């Protein structure tokens, strides 16, 4: 059984406390051992007990308190890093965190530690301004939360989603081929179209346009984003509520309008 020694784990607290206390006891015995030959049996027993229990209680208590506070600090830092990387409205990654994660994956792909393939999708809410103008910004926020939750519901494993603009989201599908990527994009589009959005009891249709690219081989986030954004513009220009998608090799996966 492997012990979790991460900064936020109790395993680290226990192991460091035990090891440190044992070290303190060993040092106490070593330093005091030079006096042992001159001591009477009773004094020797008392010295050994002192060398054992004094570091055990004082050193052990100090180490436990120190490691406990360090664990609390590590947990706080971890929570703050999550907050800093998360969009507060939709609870998905923000633009900076999303691009950083994608670029990290592409770096690993270049080093051949992960699959050198995947896809980037850009999802944009159709006619979103009309929601804010006619229903109010609170309803617009509800729509964004619903869209984000629907997107997350279609993702699996290491797939990630981020909010990269006001009503614009991006999805990265590491290791996915063109066929699966297009199916995911279509599933997102269809599920959002089918989602029930009725703020204050007033039904309002939601739809998204999606531009995407599947890559196989070396690429950059900037290059993928440009291609996906171009396809998003194409989906918007062709009537919205559809997917425009291609693979890096140039084979158009297709688009469907409803």
Give catalytic residues, as residue numbers.
167
Helices (H), 34-94: 41-54, 60-85
Task: Take residue 223 and report the two structure tokens written for it.
Answer: 């290059």
Residue 83 CA to residue 257 CA, distance in Å, equals: 37
Tell me the CA end-to-end span of the chain in Å, nearest whole number. Answer: 54
Residue by residue, DSSP assigns 102-144 as HHHHHHHHHTTSS-SEEEEEEEEETTHHHHHHHH-HHHHHHHH
For the chain, the 3-state helix, strand and coil shares in percent, each to the nearest 5, are 60, 15, 25
Largest CA distance in the chain: 98
């Amino acid at each position: 059984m492997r012990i979790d020694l991460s900064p936020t784990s109790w395993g680290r607290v226990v192991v460091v406390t035990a090891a440190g206390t044992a070290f303190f006891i060993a040092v106490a015995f070593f330093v005091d051992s030079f006096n042992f030959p001159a001591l009477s049996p009773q004094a020797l027993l008392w010295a050994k007990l002192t060398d054992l229990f004094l570091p055990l209680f004082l050193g052990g208590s100090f180490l436990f308190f120190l490691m406990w506070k360090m664990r609390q600090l590590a947990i706080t830092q971890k929570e703050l890093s999550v907050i800093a990387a998360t969009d507060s409205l939709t609870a998905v990654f923000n633009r900076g965190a999303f691009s950083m994660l994608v670029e990290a994956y592409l770096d690993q792909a270049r080093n051949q530690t992960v699959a050198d393939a995947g896809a980037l999708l850009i999802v944009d809410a159709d006619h979103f301004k009309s929601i804010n103008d006619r229903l109010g910004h609170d309803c617009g926020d509800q729509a964004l939360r619903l869209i984000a939750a629907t997107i997350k519901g279609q993702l699996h494993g290491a797939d990630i989603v981020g909010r990269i603009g006001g009503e614009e989201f991006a999805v990265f599908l590491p290791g996915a081929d063109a066929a699966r990527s297009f199916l995911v994009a279509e599933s997102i589009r269809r599920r959002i179209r089918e989602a029930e959005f009725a703020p204050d009891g007033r039904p309002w249709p939601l739809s998204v346009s999606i531009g995407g690219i599947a890559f196989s081989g070396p690429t950059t986030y900037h290059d993928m984003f440009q291609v996906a954004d171009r396809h998003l513009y194409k989906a918007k220009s062709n009537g919205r509520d559809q997917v425009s998608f291609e693979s890096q090799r140039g084979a158009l996966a297709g688009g469907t309008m409803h």
